[in-house]
Amino acid sequence: MEAYAIALIAVGSFLTLLILIGVGCCARRRHARIRLDGRHVLITGGSSGLGLAIAKEAARRGAYVTILARTTSTLAEATASIQQVAARPDAVQWVSADVTKLSEVEEKVKAACTAFGRPFLVLCCAGAAEPSYFLQCDPDLHRAQMDLNFHSCVNTARACIPLMSAPASANGGKERGESYRDTSPLLTRPKYGENGHIVFTSSLAGMTGVFGYTAYSAAKWAVRGFAESLYYELLPLGVGVSVMFPGDVDTPGYARENERKPEETKAMEGQVKCISAEKAAKKLLAGVLDRRFLVTYGDGFLLECSVFGLSPRGRALHFFLSPIVHLAKLVVVPGFEKVARRSRYFVHADGVSEGQV
């Protein structure tokens, strides 16, 4: 009996220690929420879909809003719709650039800063999914998806971060290529997010692989890895980083995606709820303004808990829910495998057949 009591005490002490370690590791110093009123918010992919919805939400909060995309006619229409809901209707502008081309992004970002000053909040929302069977898709699809969904984020970061972190000057900051090493004493360096915040858009497909998304998932996983590495580099510059992971959002892009989505992909998605761009924008922007690193909503938070790992700015809930989510994998993953095995997608001498469940 004595041995049994000792074992119980030992197990209880061990669990208590684990909880204390989890809370201690996940605890973080609270920073003030990001305030948008009177600050410059720049959004790539801001002419439609989620980017446009976020632009409207920022404009309602009194921000000076710049939207960046390629098509001028769409940009003009989007700007007019933002002005209708903006607290400052005259504080909305658009610039046209191809986000896959660094020189264009740098030029147009500097032009936008001439009117509204350096950007304080930058959101990289440009992107699109083109699902396809790997062996059926154009060999260039993976490169194109990386350019649009990943390299667009890299280009925007290269164009904006020097302006956000450099000392103010007539031309909006130092030129690209200059050294930004801060040699000032540690006590005088900027606090986290003091000079602004940059946000990258991944996807729930950037947390788990999905049948038919070999190109899209790869690009969205790359976004998270890039953002996590960049987070540490920007700490001494006072620029914060977040990554948004939206699920299915009712946008024109999502409608086009569904037109070419394999049946197996639809089966794996099951009853995943598609929400409006406006609702997703409010939920995601709330997480960004709270300075969270991984920003999800709804069921996406469970995936967040399962993949959080050593990502920065953790929360105690990640520690507590992670074991539960891993247990759920025992049901979810076999379900995905069952759908994949039932597919009639196969290779033969003349090419690849149409897959279907």
In the prediction, which pLDDT does 354 show? 56
Residue closest to 294 by CA, chosen among 246, 329, 327, 239: 246
Can you give the CATH number for the domain in which 153 is found?
3.40.50.720
What does the pLDDT look like over 15-64, one tens digit per residue?
554 554 555 454 455 578 899 999 999 999 999 999 999 999 999 999 99
In the prediction, which pLDDT does 82 show? 97
In the prediction, which pLDDT does 176 show? 33
Q: Is 330 a member of any domain?
A: yes
Q: Is 293 a member of any domain?
A: yes
Residue that is written with structure tokens 């190109």 in the block:
215
In the prediction, which pLDDT does 218 show? 96
Residue closest to 46 by CA, chosen among 101, 92, 114, 113: 92
Whether 342 shows a pLDDT value over 70: the answer reads yes
Q: Is 2 a member of any domain?
A: no
pLDDT band at 348 (very low <50, low <70, confident <90, very high): low
Element (H, E) at 262: none
Beta bridge partners of 339: none
Pairing of the two strands 347-348 and 351-352: antiparallel
Q: Is 7 a member of any domain?
A: no
What does the pLDDT look like over 203-247, one tens digit per residue?
999 988 889 999 999 999 999 999 999 999 999 999 999 999 999
Q: Is 147 a member of any domain?
A: yes
In the prediction, which pLDDT does 352 show? 53
In the prediction, which pLDDT does 188 show? 64
User: In angstroms, what CA-CA distances link 266 with 72, 142, 216, 297, 339?
Assistant: 34, 21, 15, 21, 10
Residue 60: burial class (beta carbons within 10 Å; 0-12, 13-18, 19+): middle
Q: Is 297 a member of any domain?
A: yes
Question: How many domains are contained in the chain?
Answer: 1
Q: What is the pTM of this model?
A: 0.83
Q: What is the mean pLDDT of the chain?
A: 83
Range of the domain at 300: 32-166+190-342
Q: Is 356 a member of any domain?
A: no
Q: Is 279 a member of any domain?
A: yes
